Structure 1
Amino acid sequence: MLIYHIVLPEVWEKFADEYEYAAESLETEGFIHCSYRNQLDAVLERYYRDAEKVLILEINPHRLTSPLVAEPSTAREIYPHIYGKINKSAIVGVELRKL
């Protein structure tokens, strides 16, 4: 089962020449927020309402070199959190979504 990470295109561009990607939340919260497919629409509505477009990174969790932990959120739903950088070899697809 794939997991998904939403990122603004201008943030993703900063990592174009890197082998790994690190969301700001890795520094501020200690992990990178991800979602399961059925959670994407709610996350987009909750946190990206004002964005014109986003990139949705499709991640194969078996290829991650950083630990992945499924944890409850404040809404008591279980979300996947990556405790480290995302190695780009784990990213199997990138979807541009206009909002």
Structure 2
Amino acid sequence: MILHITTNADYRPGEPYRAPSLDTEGFLHCSDFGTVHLPANRLFAGRDDLLLLVVDPARLDVPLRWEPGSPPDPNGAWFPHVFGPIRPEAVVAVHDFPSGPDGFVLPDALRFFGE
């Protein structure tokens, strides 16, 4: 499974999901369970209107590539990039993803995967 951070306002259940980065960079930024906190803390600190989409790569009908971050992560982490809209069938779970006092952490339901 891979993860994508979005906002409550931008996600429409049952509809193909696309983020502005699909038009500007050609792909949707995603993460895995061990790296999702990196872009979350860097880009969304203090936000409480976020959702975490859990995406099944086997259900995508567009290419998925693991590549260096955009911009590159200082520690060299690679991230999954989805090269097209995410179809509704590929989103297997949706979790609230608020920033806590120590930044972002995986929701309780997903912590097993991040360990």
Number of the residue aligned with 1:79: 79
Matched, 1:25 2:21: yes
What TM-score does the superposition give when structure 1 sets the normalisation length? Answer: 0.89
Residue identity opposite 1:65 in structure 2: D
The higher radius of gyration belongs to: 2
Task: Say whether the 8 Å CA contact 2:26–2:83 is kept in structure 1.
Answer: yes
Number of the residue aligned with 2:60: 64
Number of the residue aligned with 2:98: 98
Residue identity opposite 2:90 in structure 1: A
Q: CA RMSD in A?
A: 1.2
Number of the residue aligned with 2:3: 4
The structure that is helix-richer by fraction is 1
Task: Say whether the 8 Å CA contact 2:14–2:88 is kept in structure 1.
Answer: no
Where structure 1 has 5 or more consecutive residues not aligned to the other structure, the ranges are none
Alpha-carbon displacement from aligned partner over 1:7-49 (angstroms, at most 9, x marks no partner): 011111xx3462x110110001000000000011122111111
Number of the residue aligned with 2:108: none
Query: Tell me, what secondary structure is at the counterpart of 2:9?
Result: helix
Query: Tell me, what secondary structure is at the counterpart of 1:6?
Result: strand
The structure that is strand-richer by fraction is 1
Number of the residue aligned with 1:37: 33
Structure 1 residue runs of 4+, over 2 Å off?
A: 15-18
Structure 2: how far apart are the matches of 1:17 and 1:90?
Answer: 10
Q: Tell me how far 1:4 sits from its aligned partner.
A: 0.2
What TM-score does the superposition give when structure 2 sets the normalisation length? Answer: 0.77
Where structure 2 has 5 or more consecutive residues not aligned to the other structure, the ranges are 100-115
| Counterpart selection for 1:51 from 44, 47, 66 | 47
